[in-house]
Amino acid sequence: MAKDLPQKSVTPPAPLSQAIGRSRYVVLLSVLAVLLVSVSLFLQGTVLAVLTVWNSWADLLAGHLQHARLTLVFLEVVSIMLEAVVFYIVGVGLYSLFIAPMNVTVALGVETLNDLEERVVSVIIAILAINFLEHFIEWKDPLATLEFGVALAVVVAALVAFQAYSHRATEDQKSHSSNAQARAQRELFNDDNEEHKIETE
């Protein structure tokens, strides 16, 4: 006769723990809104690029192509695309952090909120650089261009300092709580369990 195996005691979930855990799905509203903005910007950038290429060839064949103006329009297309990338990264990052992890966010290096902030800051710095390049190409007022460049340099320096601090905080967080975070993500996304188990060392 087989011996009865001891049964593990099952701890009942805390009140409202599952309801609070599932409240994270409200983030889907912001995810859809941000991705809608991203798609809209991608479409606008594409249309602007097609029209710019078409008009540039028409001007070239007519013999009055303005290279500086054409460069500014193309830089505007790049700026719009980078803005669309920012919204896309925010959208998929929020979805991966709150709803379900995805390979695309891992490939982008977005596994925590700090990672998401770093990626967004990087793209913002690129957009600011493009904006300064647009002002530099126009070169209407040298003093105003210099003041604009100094202001952008201060902003970029602050963003780089924030990015460095955020990166150090992310590395410290991963080194101290990587196992606990991985276990919490597995229980939340795979097992649909919100209650965190505290284990004594």
CB-based contact 77:49 (threshold 8 Å): yes
Extended strands (E) in 80-187: none
Whole-angstrom CA distances from 117 to 77, 79, 120, 171 are: 24, 19, 5, 14
For the record, the structure tokens of 174 come out as 């991963």
For the record, the structure tokens of 34 come out as 């941000």
In angstroms, the CA 128 to CA 65 distance is 27
pTM of this structure: 0.72
- The domains of the chain are located at 24-178
Query: Residues 54-88: pLDDT tens digits?
Result: 988 888 888 777 777 788 888 889 989 999 999 99
pLDDT tens for each residue of the chain, 201 residues long: 445 555 555 555 566 667 777 778 888 999 999 999 999 999 999 999 999 899 888 888 887 777 777 888 888 899 899 999 999 999 999 998 888 888 888 887 787 788 888 888 888 888 888 888 888 887 777 888 888 889 988 998 998 888 788 777 767 666 655 555 556 556 556 655 555 454 544
> Can you give the pLDDT at residue 134?
80
Location of structure tokens 């809209």: 40
CA dihedral of 126, 132, 133, 138, whole degrees rounded to 10: 160
